[in-house]
Structure 1
Amino acid sequence: MPLRFLASLLPIILLLGAGLPAEGPLPEKKPEASETVKPAEEKTKEQTLPSGGEAPVPTPSQAETSVANPEAKPGPEAKPEAEVKPEPKPEGEGKPDVKPETEAKPEPVLTIKPEDGKEYIACLADLKAIGAIFKEETRIDDGNGCGIDKPLTLSTVLPGIALKPEGKMRCETALELARWTKDAVLPAAKVALESEGDLTTINQASSYICRLRNNAKTGKISEHARGNAIDIASFTFKNGKSIEIQPRDEDSTLAGAFQRAVTATGCLYFETVLDPGSDEAHEHHLHFDVIERKGGYRYCR
C-alpha cells in the first residue's frame, strides 16, 4: 500500500521540480525594411545589362519617375508639351480706332463756257430779224463760274414790246424769249385779253446775276449766273392793266387761262419752265432757262 502511494506521487514531484525556464524562446527579429529594399541606384546596377554591355541611360522623365516612386515601372517617354502660340489678333485689334484721313475733294473749278463764234453770229442775225433791240457787251467774269463769254443787253423783245428793266443775258436766251413772245404770248393775249389792248411790256424779275439756285447759300450755281435764264413777273397792256404771275391753277378767269397758256407753251422754247405751282421760290414769277440737258430732256412744272 505505501509503495503504490509513493509511486503515484513520483510523477507529480518530478513535474514540480522541473519548472518553467525564466524566459521563453523569442521569435527571430525580422530585418528592417531598409535592409530589404535596396536603393534605386543599386537596383539599376543589378539589372541585367544588354548585350552591348552598357546600361541604358534613363531619360529625364524616367529618372524623375524612379526617384519619385522607386517601385513604379518606367513608362513611355513623355513628349514635351507643344508650344502654345498666342492667337494672332485681328489687324487693328487692341489699337485705338484711327480713321484714315479722308482727303477733301477739291471743289470743281467752274469756268465760263465759251460761245461758238459761228453760232453766236447766227443768233445775232436771227435776233435782229425778229425785231429785237439789244446791245452787245464785253465779256463778264465775276468769278466762281459766274459770267457770260459774249453777253448782250436786251431792251426790246419785239417791236413795240419793251423788256423792263432791260436785262443782260446770252444771245440764245434773248432769242428764245423773243420767239416765245411772238408765237405764244401774243396769240394768247389776243384771244384772252383783247379788251386790254396790245401788249406793251414784259416785266422781268431777274436776268443775269451771280448767285446760287433760289438764292440759296449752298448748292449748285443758278442758270442766271451763266446768262441762260430770265424770270417773268408780269405783262402790261396798252390800257395800263398788268397781269401778274401768281398761283392760278384754280383761276377760272381769262387772266388765269392766259397765264396757264403762256406757261405751257414756254416749254416749247425753253428747256426749263418753273411756275408758281412748282415751289414757293417761284410763286410770283415764271422761270425760263436754256440749260443744255442730255437727250433734249426738258423740265416743265
Structure 2
Amino acid sequence: MAVLLAALALLPGARLPRTGPVPQAKPEAATEAPAVPLPEEKPETGKAPAPQPEESGQKPETQPSASDVPTPQPKPGQAPAAPPAGKDALPAAAPPQYQGPPRPGEQTLEEQHLTIEPESDADHAECTKDLQSLGVVFRETPRIDGGNGCGIDRPIIVSEALPGITLKPEATLRCPTALALARWMKGNVIPAASVALPESGRIITVNQASAYICRLRNGADTGKISEHARGNAIDIASFGFEKGEPVAVRSRREDSTLTGAFQRTVSAAGCLYFTTVLDPESDAAHETHFHLDVIERKGGFRYCH
C-alpha cells in the first residue's frame, strides 16, 4: 500500500520524451535490387533519343547509295528514260521525224484553201470617209481575187498618203491599212521629222517596197499567208524630203544622230496605229524597211519589234 502511494506521488512530475523512436529500415529493403524496366520502357542514357525522320521533318543523315536504288524499268510501249548527263552519257537521240501530212503552218499557199475576207459596205463607207477627211488621195478598184485566199474584197489604190505626200509607187491596199498609214504619218512621222530634221524641209514622198502581193510570209514556199496577200500590210523603205537626201530605213540601233532618233521614234509610234510593226532590228528579212500591218488578233494583242 505504501508503495502504491509513493508511485502516485511521483506521477505529476513525470514527463513524456520529446521524440519517439526513429523507425529503422527492414534488413531485406536495404539490399533490394532495382526494378527491371518493363519491355516497353527504355533505360535512361543521359540524353534524349534522336527524333525519327518523319517526326523532325529532316532527312536521315545517311542516304542510300546509287547501287542500292533500283533502276526504274520502262512500262510496256514506253520509251526508256534518257541516261543522266555527264561525260559517260550517250548522245541524245534525234527526235523522230514527223510522218503525217503537212501541218497547216507548213502547207503551201495552194494547200491552205483560204478565202478572201468579206468587208461590209457600211464599214468600207465609214473608212473611205475618214480617208477623205484626212486628204488621202485614192481611188477604188474592182474586187481582187488572186486565188488561194489572196485578194481584197473592197480594194483601193492610194497615190498620196496625205496631201502633198506622194506614195511611190501607188499602193493597192484595204482601206483600214491606208487609214492607219495616214494617221501614223500625220500624228507622228511629220511632227518627228519637223523636230529632228528641220533643215530637210517637209516630207514630200513615202517610198513603199511592197503593198498587195499574193505570197506567203517573207516570200517562203511554205507557211502562213502574208498579210500583204490580204491587203493588210505595207512596207516603207524611205522618206523623201524637200531638201537633202531621203532617209532610208536601215539598222539605226547605234545611230546617235537625230536621223537615228527620228527613225526609232516613228518605229515605236507605229504600234499606236498598226497591230504589227517590224523594223530593221527585228530580223534579216526586214533590215531595209518597216513592215506595218493591221491584222486583227484576239484580245487586241499587238506585236511591235
The TM-score bracket by the shorter chain reads: 0.5 to 0.7
Relative to structure 1, the CA distance from residue 125 to residue 257 in structure 2 (aligned partners, 3 Å threshold; closer, same or farther) is same
Report what 2:142 is aligned to.
138
| Structure 2 SS opposite 1:265 | helix
Task: Check conservation: 2:205, 2:239, Cα contact below 8 A.
Answer: yes
Match of 1:153 among 153, 157, 164: 157
Structure with more contact order per residue of length (Cα contacts < 8 Å, sep ≥ 6): 2
For normalisation by structure 1, the TM-score amounts to 0.65
Relative to structure 1, the CA distance from residue 264 to residue 105 in structure 2 (aligned partners, 3 Å threshold; closer, same or farther) is closer
| Structure 2 SS opposite 1:209 | coil
In the alignment, is residue 288 of structure 1 matched against residue 259 of structure 2?
no
Residues 112-150 of structure 1: per-residue CA shift (max 9 Å, x gap): 000021110000000000000001000000101100000
CA distance in 2, matches of 1:240, 1:121: 39
Report what 1:126 is aligned to.
130
Q: How far did residue 102 of structure 1 move?
A: 6.4
Which consecutive segments of 4 or more residues in structure 1 shift more than 4 A?
A: 101-107
Relative to structure 1, the CA distance from residue 188 to residue 102 in structure 2 (aligned partners, 3 Å threshold; closer, same or farther) is closer
AA of the residue aligned to 1:154: V
In the alignment, is residue 238 of structure 1 matched against residue 242 of structure 2?
yes
AA of the residue aligned to 2:191: P
CA distance in 1, matches of 2:236, 2:162: 15
Report what 1:298 is aligned to.
302
CA distance in 2, matches of 1:204, 1:157: 11
Q: Which runs of 5+ in 2 are unaligned?
A: 1-98, 105-110
Task: Check conservation: 2:112, 2:148, Cα contact below 8 A.
Answer: no
In the alignment, is residue 165 of structure 1 matched against residue 169 of structure 2?
yes
AA of the residue aligned to 1:174: A
CA distance in 1, matches of 2:162, 2:198: 18
For normalisation by structure 2, the TM-score amounts to 0.64
Q: Which runs of 5+ in 1 are unaligned?
A: 1-100
Q: How far did residue 108 of structure 1 move?
A: 3.8
CA distance in 1, matches of 2:199, 2:101: 65
Report what 1:198 is aligned to.
202
AA of the residue aligned to 1:192: A
Match of 1:181 among 182, 185, 200: 185
| Structure 2 SS opposite 1:218 | coil
CA distance in 1, matches of 2:248, 2:198: 17
Q: How far did residue 105 of structure 1 move?
A: 7.9
Matched ranges for 1:19-38 at <5 A = none
CA distance in 2, matches of 1:147, 1:171: 13
Residues 268-287 of structure 1: per-residue CA shift (max 9 Å, x gap): 00000000011000000000
Report what 1:228 is aligned to.
232
CA distance in 2, matches of 1:285, 1:223: 16
Q: How far did residue 299 of structure 1 move?
A: 0.1
Match of 2:272 among 268, 272, 287: 268
| Structure 2 SS opposite 1:260 | helix
CA distance in 1, matches of 2:304, 2:291: 10
Q: How far did residue 241 of structure 1 move?
A: 1.9
Q: How far did residue 104 of structure 1 move?
A: 7.8
AA of the residue aligned to 2:117: K
Report what 1:111 is aligned to.
115
CA distance in 1, matches of 2:214, 2:207: 20
CA distance in 1, matches of 2:263, 2:100: 51
Report what 1:211 is aligned to.
215
| Structure 1 SS opposite 2:272 | coil
